[in-house]
């Protein structure tokens, strides 16, 4: 299937509706019919303001986070429309990709071997 990989960048302490932006994005993606998304926590990073963001032992509020989605054109439009409704300022990367699923839903957990 042809579509896009959308990667959104945020921090643990950024909120929308009293919820961390990354968690809100995951919930909205699910609600809007996106078939899958992954939330990744990074150890360190910096953005266009050249300020270092990092997960430290005592304070995780500044931890950089990524939300990655594989989406169709229609799913992407729903996500961007929803973000525009919230006036969220988010850094993102949009990359054209081909994606799909290998194997069957009932594939054995042993890597496909039928012992």
pLDDT value at residue 67: 96
Alpha-carbon torsion (79, 81, 86, 91), positive or negative: positive
Parent domain of 69: 2-98
Beta bridge mates, 46: 52
Tell me, what's the pLDDT at 7?
97
Q: Please state the domain count of the chain.
A: 1
Say how far apart CA 36 and CA 79 lie, in whole Å. 13
The predicted pLDDT at position 57 comes to 47
Q: Is residue 103 part of a domain?
A: no
Residue 109 lies inside a defined structural domain of this protein: no
User: Dihedrals φ, ψ of 93, to 5°?
Assistant: -125, 135
Q: What is the mean pLDDT of each run of 10 residues along the chain (115 residues)?
A: 94 89 96 92 62 52 84 96 94 94 75 59
106 in a structural domain: no
User: What is the per-residue pLDDT for 73?
Assistant: 96
Sequence-separated (6 or more) residues with CB below 8 Å from residue 98: 1, 2, 3
pTM of the model: 0.77
**What CATH number is given to the structural domain containing 31?**
3.30.70.120
Q: Could you tell me if residue 113 is inside a domain? A: no
Pull the structure tokens for residue 40.
Answer: 């990744």
**Domain contains 60:** yes
């Amino acid at each position: 299937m042809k579509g896009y990989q959308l990667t959104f960048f945020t921090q643990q302490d950024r909120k929308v509706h009293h919820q961390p932006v990354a968690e809100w994005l995951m919930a909205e993606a699910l609600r809007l019919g996106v078939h899958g998304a992954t939330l990744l926590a990074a150890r360190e990073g910096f953005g266009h303001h050249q300020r270092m963001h990092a997960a430290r032992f005592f304070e995780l509020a500044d931890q950089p986070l990524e939300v990655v989605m594989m989406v169709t054109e229609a799913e992407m439009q729903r996500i961007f429309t929803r973000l525009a409704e919230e006036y969220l300022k988010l850094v993102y990367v949009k990359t054209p990709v081909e994606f799909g699923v290998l194997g069957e839903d009932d594939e054995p957990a042993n890597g496909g071997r039928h012992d």
